[in-house]
């Protein structure tokens, strides 16, 4: 009788724990399973192709060389003056969303050139291990096409950008649905743009960097 009595509390405790486990699972909010995968085809990204760039010109402009000749007391003197050519050192890129991953862009540099055209993108890259963008990893690219200027704008991580879990709620009458998704937050501190374009009318390339504007990738 003692043995039988000692087994009953243990059996009852096992049933109680099992019931509590089922209840806990039933109370979990709908949609709180694994975070959605990082599918670049369905992700929503607010990154815009815009920035203020300090750029380097390659090849640099040719120097302007002038010579003057004068005769002083029968001696001919030739004076040569070298004036360094003005290279493009600054470029601004502004963008207006045109829809369907297309932007209207305008590019202006400190040499007085203005270019208008479009940018396509962003074309997102998959994050790496743990769904994070490692420092140095490409995040997204834009293809820039203007009259007289074309190239690529690439967003690159300068620090590790982890995937954050964001929980949301939606209410429909008396029913509330809780879900969650993953997202990456881009800031001027963790990502930058790398610009590489060719100015066809001048026959030179421009390359430079600029911080990205604050943006979000929602997966």
pLDDT > 70: percent of the chain = 80
Task: Quick: pLDDT tens for 134-167.
Answer: 999 999 999 999 999 999 999 999 999 999 998 8
Per mean pLDDT, which range of 2-11, 73-82, 186-195 is the poorest?
A: 2-11
What was the pLDDT predicted at 170? 79
Residue ranges per structural domain of the chain: 29-61+88-218
pLDDT-based confidence at 176, cuts 50/70/90?
confident
Examine the pLDDT at 9 and tell me if it is beyond 60. no
Examine the pLDDT at 100 and tell me if it is beyond 90. no
pLDDT > 90: percent of the chain = 60
The mean pLDDT of the chain is 83
Between 170 and 40, name the one with better pLDDT. 40
What was the pLDDT predicted at 82? 61
pLDDT-based confidence at 201, cuts 50/70/90?
confident
pLDDT-based confidence at 40, cuts 50/70/90?
very high
Mean pLDDT of 50-65: 87
Alpha-carbon distance of 148 to 163, in angstroms, equals 39
């Amino acid at each position: 009788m003692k043995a039988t009595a000692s087994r009953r509390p243990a059996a009852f405790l096992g049933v109680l724990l099992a019931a509590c486990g089922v209840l806990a699972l039933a109370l979990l909010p709908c949609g709180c399973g694994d975070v959605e995968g990082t599918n670049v085809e369905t992700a929503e990204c607010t990154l815009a192709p815009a920035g203020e760039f300090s750029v380097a010109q390659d090849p640099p402009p040719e120097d302007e060389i002038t010579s003057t000749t004068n005769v002083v007391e029968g001696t001919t003197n030739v004076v040569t003056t070298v004036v360094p050519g003005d290279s493009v050192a600054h470029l601004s890129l502004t963008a207006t969303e045109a829809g369907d991953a297309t932007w209207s862009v305008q590019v202006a540099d400190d040499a007085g050139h203005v270019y208008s055209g479009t940018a396509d993108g962003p074309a997102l890259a998959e994050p790496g291990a743990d769904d994070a963008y490692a420092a140095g990893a490409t995040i997204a690219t834009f293809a820039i096409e203007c009259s007289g200027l074309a190239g690529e704008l690439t967003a690159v991580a300068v620090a590790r950008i982890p995937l954050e879990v964001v929980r949301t709620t939606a209410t429909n009458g008396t029913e509330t649905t809780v879900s969650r998704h993953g997202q990456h937050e881009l800031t001027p501190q963790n990502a930058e743009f790398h610009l590489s374009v060719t100015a066809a009318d001048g026959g030179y390339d421009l390359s430079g960097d600029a911080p990205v504007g604050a943006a979000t990738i929602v997966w």
